[in-house]
Amino acid sequence: MTISTDPAPPLLSGKMILLLAFACGAVVANLYYSQPLAGPIAAALGLSPGAAGLIVTATQIGYGLGLLFIVPLGDLIENRALIVVTLVASAISLGVASFSADAGEFLTAALLIGLCSVAAQIIVPFAAHFVPPERRGQAVGQVMSGLLIGIMMSRPIASMTTDLLGWAAIFRISALTTLALAILLWVRLPQRHPASTQRYGELIRSLWFIWRTVPILRRRALYQAAAFGVFSLFWTTAPLELAGPDFGLSQKAIALFALVGVGGAVAAPIAGRLADRGHTRAATIGALLVIILALGLSFGLTPEPTIPVRLAAAAVLLDMGVAANLVLGQRALFALGADIRARLNGLYMAVFFCGGAAGSSLGAWAFEAGGWHAALIVGLVAPLAALGYRMTER
């Protein structure tokens, strides 16, 4: 079926929304599999410990490029074909990474994995086209909950799979999964042909114009950059604290702790329903306050023989606040118009992705300089600034 860019009828069933949520989670997880495996991969490919960070950096660079240069194509060419081609390219890149014999080959594949993982950010606005406005927030929240679960599950899954089968296995399993998803979505998804007649160069040049002339995009992107920066800071430094002398947890125990945060994804569809009912502003304040509360709970931890319950509660609250704020932003942006929806999502994701990268870097620096509490203090700056900025919104 081919549709226009006008508000779409409710063509996607509940099962189809769940399929898209699973697809988003499976695809975005590819970005994070290499993070806990940088050491084993570097050793296998002959990279020095100091150069191991390039494994993660290459994937992040690819993802950033994809957000700016591939996701906007959702406003220009048929969406189902774009999604499927990107997924097939992702599967090939994962396969190449798993069989890489040298560092150069793997890093090139990692760059392409990041580039093609933006398929998830093509799927989200695609889903928004096929639901009526009064249900758009809920549908986007359901799809994004799958994406967030994929992010949170990726690291422990990668660590556990590597313990059993070696580091290459997770890339091979994901390659097969991604290829199967490409075939399934080609069969099941309807087509969507955008009405735009722009050329690709014009489309890319319009990104700056959209950023400059859509104030709600700038606000929502900066709110989420602050929230995701804290998320990245927390999940970069919490494993370091738990593995340190005070707690001494093993990598397997830390992987299990990371699973606790998955519970926070339940906030995504709830936030979507609140936005559908017109409560976006109040819900945004609530989400930022929950993030601040989570950091507050993380202060003053004392060594215990088991995973600290208070830190686990903080992890869930933090992930809830970040998930809610993410969906609130997308719901607000997707209400602006179907003809620029993909570009809005690409810019939104690119900005908050930069916030996440900054949070990881600052968190690692603060932890090395002053320990866990120093990292938390640095982390508090972002949500407090975002809350203050929110109070200026009219």
Report the CATH number at residue 318. Answer: 1.20.1250.20
pTM of the entire predicted model: 0.85
- Residue 3 placed within a domain: no
- Length, in residues, of the chain: 394
CA distance 322 to 229: 10
- Tokens representing 280? 């976006």
What pLDDT sits at residue 67? Answer: 94
In a domain, 36, yes or no: yes
Count of Cβ atoms closer than 10 Å to residue 92 Cβ: 17
Q: With residue 208 as reference, give the H or E element that holds it.
A: helix 200-213
**Sign of the alpha-carbon torsion through 235, 237, 239, 242:** negative
Assigned domain for 333 exists: yes
Residue 3's pLDDT is: 41
Nearest to 71 by CA among 120, 141, 113: 120
Classify residue 243 as exposed, middle or buried by CB count within 10 Å of its CB (0-12, 13-18, 19+): middle
Q: Give helix 167-188 / helix 79-98 axis angle, nearest 10°.
A: 160
Domain count, the chain: 1
Please give the chain's pLDDT, 394 residues, in tens.
444 444 444 478 888 999 999 999 999 999 989 877 877 888 888 887 667 768 877 888 899 899 999 999 999 999 999 999 999 999 999 999 999 988 999 999 999 999 999 999 999 999 988 888 888 888 888 998 899 899 888 988 988 888 889 999 999 999 999 999 999 999 999 999 998 888 999 999 999 999 999 999 999 999 999 999 998 889 878 887 887 888 877 767 777 787 887 888 888 889 989 999 989 999 999 999 999 999 999 987 766 665 678 888 999 999 999 999 999 999 999 988 888 999 999 999 999 888 888 888 888 888 888 889 999 999 999 999 999 999 998 7
The pLDDT of residue 30: 95
Please report whether residue 2 resides in a domain: no
Interatomic CA distance for residues 358 and 229, integer angstroms:
6
The answer to whether residue 1 sits within a structural domain is no
Do the domain assignments include residue 161?
yes
Place of tokens 């970040």: 322
Enclosing domain of residue 313:
14-390
Instruction: For residue 117, give the 3-state DSSP assignment.
Output: coil
Spatial contact of 44 and 105, defined as CB atoms under 8 Å apart: no
pLDDT of residue 195: 83
- Report how far residue 275's alpha carbon sits from residue 329's, in angstroms, rounded to the nearest whole number: 9
Whether the CA torsion 51, 178, 81, 348 is positive or negative: it is: negative
In a domain, 8, yes or no: no
281, two tokens: 């502003």
Q: Quick check: is 7 in a domain? A: no
Residue whose structure tokens are 């990474």: 97
The alpha-helical segments, DSSP class H, found in 29-166 are 38-45, 53-69, 79-98, 103-116, 119-129, 133-165
